[in-house]
Chain A
């Protein structure tokens, strides 16, 4: 059975391999979690732009907390929600660094809302990767601000009741109203075509920083199959049939 040890016969070229910006460490994400794809796309963007040596990532609190192990570049692990504030300090003190944060919806859009909004409003020259999986993954599946109406979570067992719990927070739409940001977009990684589009958006968001254009944010819709209590394939269907209805894909500001 062809496995790790597969011998490649002569006359074949490698056309897909792990990006150099990823370390050899195994991800700690669950099977089928979209975090893994998005993490790889960020690494591919660092490789493509040749900026790994001067890039510092800001890891969030959440399932991506171990990003510093997964990447072959410098990292700071911020307190919950504070990644945009940490990124601001790093970038202002060292304008030659490329600084990005990678944050979940609980991190960026709940406990860290203030830091996110004000960094965006100040037009900080940083790149933000925002993983919207509509749930708190790491802590066991509690309701997030982005949880869909009617969605069952451990803290909304009867489904999110909008009269009691409000509506899904449209972080990207909110930020797109501000004058500070230069690029706000929403993407998805449920199929190979959309993975390609997300990759392009992430590269653009880094390019904007290199050109000094200011705050860029790429929101990526994701599934958390573990806490959705679904198979990874059903997670993809969830993104297409449910998440995209509440959070339509596309550029919300700039391109």
Chain B
């Protein structure tokens, strides 16, 4: 199980690619899907590398990303 999960809201994503460029671990990329506005949306292409650092969500101009982090024995990491 990865340390983090970035959930991209497909309808909010405008395919700007800023999250893809910002992710330090190469987790994100363009999917093969287009949303109802015709934007090529981003997705997790290497989900196993996600650390839940939230950098993608911080940089997303459309507030389209929610991030989850795995709870550790000590509580939420």
A contacts, CB < 8 Å to B: 1-4, 6, 8-9, 11-19, 22, 26-27, 29-37, 40, 189, 191-192, 195-196, 225, 231-233, 236
Contact B59 A33 (CB under 8 A): no
Q: Does B26 contact A (CB under 8 A)?
A: no
Closest to A35 in B: B61
Contact A16 B65 (CB under 8 A): yes
Given contacts A26-B12, A195-B58, A231-B17, contact A14 B63 (CB under 8 A): no
Contact B70 A12 (CB under 8 A): yes
Given contacts A31-B39, A32-B61, A36-B61, contact A233 B17 (CB under 8 A): yes
A31 partner, pick from B16, B21, B58, beta carbons under 8 A: B16
B contacts, CB < 8 Å to A: 1, 4-5, 7-12, 14-18, 21-22, 31-33, 39, 41, 43-44, 47, 52, 54-55, 57-63, 65-71, 76
What is the minimal beta-carbon distance from B37 to any residue of chain A, in angstroms?
9
Given contacts A12-B70, A13-B68, A196-B58, contact A1 B1 (CB under 8 A): no
Contact B39 A36 (CB under 8 A): no
Contact B14 A31 (CB under 8 A): yes
Contact A1 B31 (CB under 8 A): yes
The interface centre, meaning the residue of B47, B58, B65 with most chain A CB atoms within 10 A of its CB, is B58
User: Whole-angstrom distance between the alpha carbons of A27 and B16 in the complex?
Assistant: 14
Contacting residues, chain B, for A195 (C-beta < 8 A): 58-59
Chain A, interface SS category: loop
Contacting residues, chain A, for B63 (C-beta < 8 A): 18-19, 22, 27, 36, 40
Contact A12 B58 (CB under 8 A): no
Contact B16 A191 (CB under 8 A): no
Contact A4 B61 (CB under 8 A): no
What is the minimal beta-carbon distance from A208 to any residue of chain B, in angstroms?
24
User: Whole-angstrom distance between the alpha carbons of A236 and B63 in the complex?
Assistant: 18
Given contacts A12-B68, A15-B52, A31-B39, contact A4 B58 (CB under 8 A): no
Closest to B52 in A: A15
Contacting residues, chain A, for B57 (C-beta < 8 A): 16
Closest to B44 in A: A2
Contact A29 B61 (CB under 8 A): yes
Contact A13 B76 (CB under 8 A): yes
